[in-house]
Amino acid sequence: MRKQSTARAPINIALIKYWGKRDEQLVLPYNPSISLSLDVFETKTTMMDSPNEAFTFHLNGQPNEAMKQKVSRFLQHFTKGVYPTHLHVETFNSGPTAAGLASSASGFAALAVCANHYYQTGFTLEELASITRLGSGSAIRSLLPGCVLWNTNGTIESLPFPFPEVYMAILVVNAFEKKIGSTEAMKSSVHTCPHYLDFVKQSHQDAVMFQQALMNRDLQAVGLLAEQNALAMHQVINSSIPPVHYLTEESYRIIHLIQEARNSKLFEGYCTMDAGPNVKVLMTVQDKSKFEEFAKTHHFPAVLWSGIDHVGAVIVNE
């Protein structure tokens, strides 16, 4: 019988950001990060025996040489370092690839869970987590559903998230592939940004206060911490040498309008941005229609709505 395994994993968006590795080899972060796994996009990956000796890899139905190299290296964590053969891997991202919408996160989480099943390696969640982050740091958080804490020692844990009615509005300012990848930009920030260590110190404090805010069921504190932390990360990125600018004029226009709307009590939305120009806005279900109207009046890009993913990275073929 031909062997085949399929896994899915959600994208995740950090509310307290990971930006910098204290250990490049093991992919250990300088500061803890906290994310929400989202249900709007996912990656589905299938690994199957191939009659041909070669290892083949397709991304969204097309062969992809650059990713194939990365995937073959990643799979060697499951094969004791042996290059994969007689194997075909099919990966589908339901959202845009590499546009700051965390497709590499869902991609490596799905691949890790899929490979663990396909090769019957039987790795525990902790073992799988230490492999997954080698593909992409933030992928580690896509292993779990809901709200996830990635500790600086490399472990992950689920945090109770007391806001079931929370949504994320994703404003796709630009869905094209980013020019400078997060790995490269992150490294530059660590080595050249004069206030990088202040950001690390602040993020440690933000992660503690964020967990306190979750325990207090204080959405305002959660949202403000997330927005300030994201803006602080972008200040670090902007002041690296040479500077990198992921946020565009359009991103800043949207952020400022949302801040104004919040201050004038029109609706309660909080922004977060990653290694791309897109703006994600956290809010409760009560504010969705007010936000839609505001977005239309101010000519925001089309809004993609996401709820929280409650599944995480799992095998789906059984």
- Residues in contact with ligand PMV by CB under 6 A are 14, 17-19, 33, 104, 136-138, 182-183, 274-275
CB 179 to ligand PMV: min, Å: 15
We find the least distance from the C-beta atom of residue 226 to ligand PMV, in angstroms, to be: 11
Is the Cβ of residue 214 or residue 226 nearer to ligand PMV in the bound state? Answer: 226
Minimum separation from the CB atom of position 13 to ligand PMV (A): 7
3-state secondary structure the chain: CCCEEEEEEEEEEEEECCCCEEECCCCEECCCEEEEEEEEEEEEEEEEECCCCCEEEEECCEECHHHHHHHHHHHCCCCCCCCCCCEEEEEEECCCCCCCCCHHHHHHHHHHHHHHHHCCCCCCHHHHHHHHHHHCHHHHHHHCCCEEEECCCCCEEEECCCCCCEEEEEECCCCCCCCCCHHHHHHHHHHHCCCHHHHHHHHHHHHHHHHHHHHCCCHHHHHHHHHHHHHHHHHHHHCCCCCCCCCCHHHHHHHHHHHHHHHCCCCCCEEECCCCCCEEEEEEHHHHHHHHHHHHHCCCCCEEEECECCCCCEECCC
Pick the closer one to ligand PMV by CB: 6 or 182: 182
d(CA 237, CA 245): 7
Q: Nearer to ligand PMV by C-beta: 137 or 269?
A: 137
Beta carbon nearer to ligand PMV, 14 or 282: 14
Residue 137 vs 277, nearer CB to ligand PMV: 137
CB of residue 310 to ligand PMV, shortest distance in Å: 20
Nearer of residues 225 and 275 to ligand PMV, judged by Cβ: 275
Minimum CB–partner distance for residue 104 and ligand PMV (Å): 5
CB of 243 to ligand PMV, least distance (A): 16
Q: Which is nearer to ligand PMV, 35 or 46 (CB)?
A: 35
Cα 48 to Cα 165: distance, rounded to the nearest angstrom: 39
Closer to ligand PMV by Cβ: residue 84 or 107: 107
Residue environment code for 95-106, b if the CB has 16+ CB neighbours within 10 A, otherwise e: bbbbbbbbbbbb
Phi/psi region, residue 263 (left: phi>0; alpha: psi -120 to 50; beta: rest), is alpha
Cβ at position 290, least distance to ligand PMV in Å: 28
In the complex, least distance from residue 139 CB atom to ligand PMV, rounded to whole angstroms? 6
Q: How far is the CB of 230 from ligand PMV (least distance, A)?
A: 9
Spatial separation of the C-alpha atoms in residues 123 and 293, rounded to whole Å: 48
Q: 87 vs 131, which CB is nearer to ligand PMV? A: 131
